[in-house]
Amino acid sequence: MTNKHIIFFDIDGTLLDEDKNLPESAKEAIFSLKEQGHEVAIATGRAPFLFEDLREELSIDTYVSYNGQYVVLNGEVIYKNPLNKEALESLTEVAVSNEHPVVFMDHEDMKANVPDHDYISESIRSLKVKHYPTHDPKYIDRELYQALLFCKEGEETGYEERYKEFDFIRWHEFSVDILPAGGSKSEGIEKIVEKLGIAKENQAAFGDSLNDLEMLTDIEKSVAMGNGHERAKEAAKYETKPVSEDGIMHGLKMIGLL
């Protein structure tokens, strides 16, 4: 196939609507891309274990997870960028003194440093996933790709100023992602396209949120969802309809892939 493309899809707000449902038109569009010989991949802030069902439903085994920190090509891990362990241990000590819970995440599971907390339950419940962090403060003693800091908006500022090893991205009223500084979906995507040898003009991406900005800026055929953040729309080259209004199908037609 001379015009083979690779298309990267974010999950929440892009493939899945606000109720975490996959529109039938989006599923149909992805299988149509595959039938035409294109590569289809996921680029998400989620952990691998938080979208296993979706990968199975869409028959996708290439993905960028943890916003670029854990990258898999055709079922094989090709790139890992774990958190700085010493800095995370220090941050966790400060968080404990501030009564801010922390959840530790690797490629298989997530564990909390406290038995239970309202901020954790409310934040994780909003994802509508079947996984929930159980209590294991020793889970920090392994290769971790992301942590979650639970605090109110603005309370993360002190951590941001002190721990330059990390980027802090708020995704919920009570929760902030902790990621290696400078990592992004765009960096993870680069690892995949290098391996596959797909030219920039044959790369496309769909996203809706602040953690999609680099991806939407760097990729030539980038599409922001109609329900997306205004900054995502500004970064993308195209804007499609909202996910719940067949936005994926419409966007793929806009860029000439369907």
Residues labelled as active-site residues: 10
Beta carbons within 10 angstroms of residue 245's beta carbon? 15
What does the DSSP 8-state code read for residue 221? E
Within 8 A by CB and 6+ apart from 185, the residues are 8, 10, 43, 44, 45, 64, 67, 68, 207, 211, 212, 214, 215
Among 3, 144, 251, 51, CA closest to 61: 51
What does the DSSP 8-state code read for residue 51? S
Q: Where are the beta strands (DSSP E) in the chain?
A: 6-9, 39-43, 63-65, 70-73, 76-80, 102-105, 110-112, 134-135, 146-150, 166-172, 175-180, 203-207, 221-224, 238-239
Among 169, 188, 205, CA closest to 14: 205
Residue 150's φ and ψ, nearest 5 degrees, are: -105, 110
- With 0-12 CB in 10 A as exposed, 13-18 as middle and 19+ as buried, what is 196? middle
